Amino acid sequence: MLSLVRPPDVVLEIDLAAVRTNFQNISTYVGNQVRVAAVVKSDAYGLGLVNIARALIDSGCNLLFVANLDEAILLRSAFSTIAIAVFRDEFDRFGTFYRSHGLIPVVNNCNELSAVSKAGEAQTYFLNVETGFSRFGLSIGDVRREYLLRTFERFPPSIVLSHLACGERIWDETNVLQRDRFQIVYDLLKPTCGSLAASAGVWLGKSYHFDMVRVGSALYGINTPTVQANPLQTVAKLRARILDVRTVQAGEAVGYGATFRTIRTSRIAIVGIGYKHGLPWSCANKVVVKLGEHSAPLIGRISMEYMTIDVTDVPGCCNPGTFVELLCDDFTVNDLAAAAGINPQEALTRLGAGCTRKYLNLSSPTAAFTANPPDAGED
Q: What is the pLDDT of residue 169?
A: 87
**The domain containing residue 144 runs over which residues?**
16-220
Q: What is the pLDDT of residue 224?
A: 81
254 and 188 assigned to the same domain: no
Instruction: Enumerate the H helices of 131-172 as residue ranges.
Output: 140-148, 151-154
86 and 126 assigned to the same domain: yes
Q: What is the pLDDT of residue 376?
A: 31
Q: Which of 220, 247, 278 is the last residue of a domain?
A: 220
Quick: pLDDT tens for 133-175: 988 999 999 999 999 999 999 999 999 999 999 998 888 999 9
Q: Where does residue 24 rank: exposed (0-12), middle (13-18), buried (19+ CB within 10 A)?
A: middle
Q: Is the predicted pLDDT of residue 68 greater than 90, yes or no?
A: yes
Catalytic residue at 206?
no
98 and 170 assigned to the same domain: yes
Least Cα distance to 254 among 187, 204, 301, 184 occurs for 301
Q: Is the predicted pLDDT of residue 23 greater than 50, yes or no?
A: yes
Q: Is the predicted pLDDT of residue 374 greater than 50, yes or no?
A: no
- Helix 49-58 with 69-78: angle, nearest 10 deg: 60
Residue among 125, 190, 256, 359 flagged as catalytic: 256
Quick: pLDDT tens for 247-278: 999 999 999 999 999 999 999 999 999 999 99
245 and 133 assigned to the same domain: no
Mean pLDDT of 182-196: 97
Quick one: three-class SS letters along 303-353?
Answer: CCCCEEEECCCCCCCCCCCCEEEEECCCCCHHHHHHHHCCCHHHHHHHHHH
186 and 308 assigned to the same domain: no
Q: What is the pLDDT of residue 377?
A: 34
The total number of structural domains in the chain stands at: 2
Asked, for residue 342, whether it belongs to a domain, the answer is no
Residue among 41, 98, 220, 237 flagged as catalytic: 41
- What's this model's pTM, rounded to 2 decimal places? 0.91
Least Cα distance to 218 among 193, 197, 196, 237 occurs for 197
Quick: pLDDT tens for 278-335: 999 999 999 999 999 999 999 999 999 999 999 999 987 788 999 999 999 999 999 9
Q: What is the pLDDT of residue 368?
A: 60
Q: Please give the backbone phi and psi of residue 241, each rounded to the nearest 5 degrees, phi first.
A: -90, 140
Q: How far apart are CA 185 and CA 162, in angstroms?
A: 10
Residues 6+ apart with CB under 8 A from 100: none
Q: How far apart are CA 212 and CA 261, in angstroms?
A: 54
Pairing of strands 236-248, 10-15: antiparallel
Q: What is the CATH number of the domain that holds 72?
A: 3.20.20.10
Query: 292-304 burial, b for 16+ CB within 10 Å, e for fewer?
Result: eeebbbbbbbbbe
**Angle, vertex CA 349, rays to CA 283 and CA 240, nearest 5:** 55
Asked, for residue 5, whether it belongs to a domain, the answer is no
Asked, for residue 372, whether it belongs to a domain, the answer is no
Catalytic residue at 41?
yes
Q: What is the CATH number of the domain that holds 243?
A: 2.40.37.10
Residues 6+ apart with CB under 8 A from 266: 247, 248, 250, 310, 312
